Structure 1
Amino acid sequence: MKKAYSPIKIGKPVTKGSKVVIEIENRYDFLSLDQIKFVAIVDGKQFPFKAAIGPRKGGQVTLPIPSGYNALQIIATDNQGNEVENELFQKGRKNQEQFLETALQLKQDSAYIYVKQGNLDYTFSRTYGKLLAVRKNGELILTKGPAVALIEANAEDGGKPNVAGETYQNNIAPLKQYEQYTLFADAIEASQTGDSISVRMDLRYQNGTGKQKFVFLKNGLLRVEYEMFYQREQEIDLYQAGLMLELPLSYDKLAWSRKGSFSTYPANHIGRNEGEAVLHAVPLYEVEEHGKPQAKDWKDDANILGSNDFRSTKGNIYWASLRSPAATVKVLSNGQQHARAWKQDQQIQWLIADYSNNGSEPFYGSPHSYGRKKLKKAIS
């Protein structure tokens, strides 16, 4: 809301020689920006500056900062001390991982395929075409996936009965989400080159057919490719689609970096661009626990799936990770995928979605309907 009503619009900084220039738009009807306090923050050091731009006008301002900055934050404050704009501009790549060369080893028999990638061990089932387990130095870090998941929009708008006469005393069980059920693998093969190991499979699902490919690289990365031809009698509204992983319950700390709609968010906002969240799942049999105060921040309120912060979808991620005391599982992306984690069946479910919308809440129906997808019924 604050961004929507901000009376100041700050453009992206441009470096011209040794100077940094920005465009500023004044959306005040009567106030000149020379009455607004501006400060540029670079590496923790503050550089106050002035912007003499009249009401309903725009102009260029040269900032009194060095041009070789990595992160630039600009804060505008009015004469009553209210922050009226806050923008953050960062240079450089979002994923700056340092990769070390790892040894690759492939073994297989009539029932399983075994891939060793450094200190990681992967086990595939030939029968079902599934990645059954991943172990790091012998310790289990992945119990299922990555497997194709299609999450339907909730037709009941929240899973609760009609509001009329509702007392909220009944336990409202959360909807459970699972990956697409595979019946068996039509074909599965594994091969090794000097730089990688590939495991390819043709899969037959309960509701269609598909292909999946796992590519293990010498730098320690695993790349997963997938496609699915979905077959079902009725049309469904799609909420999210992508690859689902299952991890032990000890992976209860989420971290992420994402490309948000805005460059800055409040520190306690679940949609902030970077942050950490803890699972903190609690059995909740009512909307609120009787006689117990809620958390200080709404993001820390929790139910059986986890805290609001942990279980909310982090859209357009550059990377996301789940951490336990023993290890960290990390996904690298390009700002076009979405991460969502929650507790289910005494495990951590983690969806890395290539498609995501705002769900079935009616309030968001019309303003967010563009680009929504349906899975159409098969035509025989």
Structure 2
Amino acid sequence: VLDYQDSTYYPYVLQANMETIHFYRNHPSVIFWSIANESYWNKEFAQVEVYVKKADPTRPHTFHDQAYGGFNNQGSTAPISNIHYPGPDGYKVAAKSDRPMVYGEYCHLNVYNRSELVTDPGVRSDWALALSPTWENMYKTDGVLGGSIWSGIDDIFQLPNGDAVGYGPWGPIDGWRRPKPEYWDMKKIYSPIRVQTDRLSPAKELVIHLENRYTYTNFNELQLNWKYGDEQGVSFASIKPGESGQIRIPIMNPDQANELYLSFTDPRGFIADEYIIPVGKQVQNELPELQPLTTQLKKASDRYRITGKNFICEVSRTTGQILSLKQGKQEILNGGPWLMALPLNGGGCYPNHNANTPLFNDICTEWKPTEIDAAKVGDDVIVTVKGSYKEFEGSYKLTVNAAGKLSVSYSFNALADVNPRQWGLVFEAPATFNKTFWRRDGLWSVYPEDHISRPVGEADLFYSGLPSHLNPRVEPTWSWSLDYNELGSNDFRSTRRNIWYAGLTNAAGNKVTAVSDGKQHWRSWLEKDRIRFLVADFVTAGNEMFLSSYYAPFRKPLKAGDNISGAIVLHTN
């Protein structure tokens, strides 16, 4: 282990600072100098500081201490204090500091939870749940100058033998400079334009509250384009930097639409931000109710046959699970429900990225039913199942109607402690159901068309026009969301939080749709020769160790005996 107090290293540290300052001193983008990165302060660094002050008296400097906590602030006299990975309460430390403070590194992206990332790219969008409140506290704390997210670009090195090493994909852009999901989250969180109005009621005049977070630009220098149904226009608002105000938009026909689109064009000519504000009832989030049809039940030795007009659903009398559900001749479901309570899966702080990181996508194991019964109740058939997995015990009830409606309520108690990332029920559909679709509440109201977290969209299992094998040494000509592994494309297999509805469809237009209330979540993937999908009643952010303190309020660790439950509604046609 190197001794940080060994004066032998002083000439090298001094030389590094000399070369840096003399080489870059005329760059206008240099705001202040850094004497070192994640090092211990000592008398040699104090001597280097004397040189730095004389070499460029026009700029201040900082010293990046080892890390937050006991390694930090070991006597550094740099005029700008510096901490790395301060956690969600770092701003409180900054507020008490006698020097201005910068977060030299903070809130780095998911990287060490490698199996979670290769299984579910939707974990990446959860990073905003850490960055957003952190930036809000930084912005509102006078002592904080700002911070640097680590890292800018993925840290992956492709070796000649095909292996990949490094820390991993923790950049908001990848090695080919393609934006990843976090890039848009970062842009929205750092945006100087804040629309503080969440929703509106239909009216002849729509009043929108705004906050100006520009440092020098008045909002009257921006061009605000708006659109409401067939009506559109341009508005301006005079709001000084750091202040809040309003804009008022006249509407001729309030009943013609239920969304107001806003676009803000920066004086330099680019669109700085966009918003969609819901106005009145959002009828597009609702699907029509299915009118019940008479449904019949027949009991064979090994299965229940539930039938109706152009409808057959077969449920195993051995497992209590769906064998097949058909509308006409088209099979729409051929498996499930299975309980999934997928544990959080993290990793240590090591540069051990591996191109062959294993997937982690297990449903509960060793299902043993203890009771299976079916009965006709009104127009429906209800199948009641009790049993246990290795991890949980409990029951579920399938309510089946020939109109194509399948309702599943479940309740299970944990048999061992587990800290889950997702829980819910998993079903299977034929591999021909290779397109997913959804409508959901997004963290942001506007996303790029190829963003995995866009509020409304559809995604292919595999996109056409891509090579059969992704060569990491060949520059891709497609967006990041189209990349794929054995589970499907990034776009197809990402968790969609807070769905109003989501589902699968095939080329003939047959569908299975999970109908919800904006509080459930959807994820689909290829499982060998079938498509599986999860309708989850609980989802939390991934198990990235550096973000654990940010995500702690969102966790629901279970102790043995704790209950999980939910109700899922599927429409098939």
* 2:269 alignment partner in structure 1: 81
- Residues 49 and 64, structure 1, Cα contact 8 Å, conserved in 2: no
* 1:250 alignment partner in structure 2: 432
Query: Residue 320 of structure 2: which of 122, 129, 144 is its match?
Result: 129
Spell out, residue by residue over 1:147-200, the C-alpha distance to the aligned partner (whole angstroms, 9 max, x if none): 22111222447xxx9635x7x57x44423423443212x223222233432222
How many residue pairs get matched? Answer: 368
* 2:420 alignment partner in structure 1: 238
The residue identity in structure 1 corresponding to 2:209 is E
What TM-score results when the alignment is normalised by the length of structure 1? 0.87
The residue identity in structure 1 corresponding to 2:371 is A
> How many Å apart are 1:95 and its aligned residue?
1.5
Query: Residue 221 of structure 1: which of 383, 391, 405 is its match?
Result: 405
Q: 1:23 to 1:376 in 2, by over 3 A?
A: same
* Equivalent runs, 1:338-377 vs 2, <5 Å: 338-377=521-560
In 2, Cα distance between equivalents of 1:65 and 1:26: 24
Q: 1:145 to 1:61 in 2, by over 3 A?
A: same
In 1, Cα distance between equivalents of 2:198 and 2:251: 15
Q: 1:283 to 1:97 in 2, by over 3 A?
A: same
Moved over 6 A (4+): 281-285
Q: Does 1:314 align with 2:496?
A: yes
Q: Does 1:61 align with 2:247?
A: yes
Identity %: 30
In 2, Cα distance between equivalents of 1:162 and 1:54: 46
- Residues 295 and 380, structure 2, Cα contact 8 Å, conserved in 1: yes
Q: Does 1:175 align with 2:363?
A: no
In 1, Cα distance between equivalents of 2:373 and 2:536: 26
**Which entry has the higher C-alpha Rg, 1 or 2?**
2
Tell which deviates more after alignment, 326-335 or 58-67.
Answer: 58-67
Spell out, residue by residue over 1:229-261, the C-alpha distance to the aligned partner (whole angstroms, 9 max, x if none): 1213xx332111100011121111111111111
Q: 1:56 to 1:172 in 2, by over 3 A?
A: closer
> How many Å apart are 1:354 and its aligned residue?
0.8
Q: 1:16 to 1:277 in 2, by over 3 A?
A: closer
Matched position secondary structure for 1:369? helix
Tell which deviates more after alignment, 125-134 or 256-265.
Answer: 125-134
The residue identity in structure 1 corresponding to 2:282 is G
In 2, Cα distance between equivalents of 1:302 and 1:16: 43
Tell which deviates more after alignment, 113-122 or 75-84.
Answer: 113-122
Tell which deviates more after alignment, 359-368 or 297-306.
Answer: 359-368
Spell out, residue by residue over 1:216-237, the C-alpha distance to the aligned partner (whole angstroms, 9 max, x if none): 34754221100111213xx332
The residue identity in structure 2 corresponding to 1:247 is A
The residue identity in structure 1 corresponding to 2:437 is A
- Residues 117 and 220, structure 1, Cα contact 8 Å, conserved in 2: no
Q: Does 1:8 align with 2:199?
A: no
Q: Does 1:278 align with 2:464?
A: no
> How many Å apart are 1:23 and its aligned residue?
1.5
What TM-score results when the alignment is normalised by the length of structure 2? 0.59
* 1:201 alignment partner in structure 2: 385
The residue identity in structure 1 corresponding to 2:264 is A
Q: 1:330 to 1:118 in 2, by over 3 A?
A: farther
Matched position secondary structure for 2:481? helix
> How many Å apart are 1:263 and its aligned residue?
0.8
- Residues 319 and 333, structure 1, Cα contact 8 Å, conserved in 2: yes
The residue identity in structure 1 corresponding to 2:293 is T
Matched position secondary structure for 1:370? helix
Query: Residue 265 of structure 1: which of 443, 447, 458 is its match?
Result: 447
- Residues 257 and 275, structure 1, Cα contact 8 Å, conserved in 2: yes
In 2, Cα distance between equivalents of 1:317 and 1:118: 30
Contiguous gaps of at least 5 residues in structure 2: 1-185, 563-573
> How many Å apart are 1:13 and its aligned residue?
5.2
> How many Å apart are 1:131 and its aligned residue?
1.9
> How many Å apart are 1:262 and its aligned residue?
1.1
- Residues 364 and 390, structure 2, Cα contact 8 Å, conserved in 1: no
Tell which deviates more after alignment, 124-133 or 236-245.
Answer: 124-133
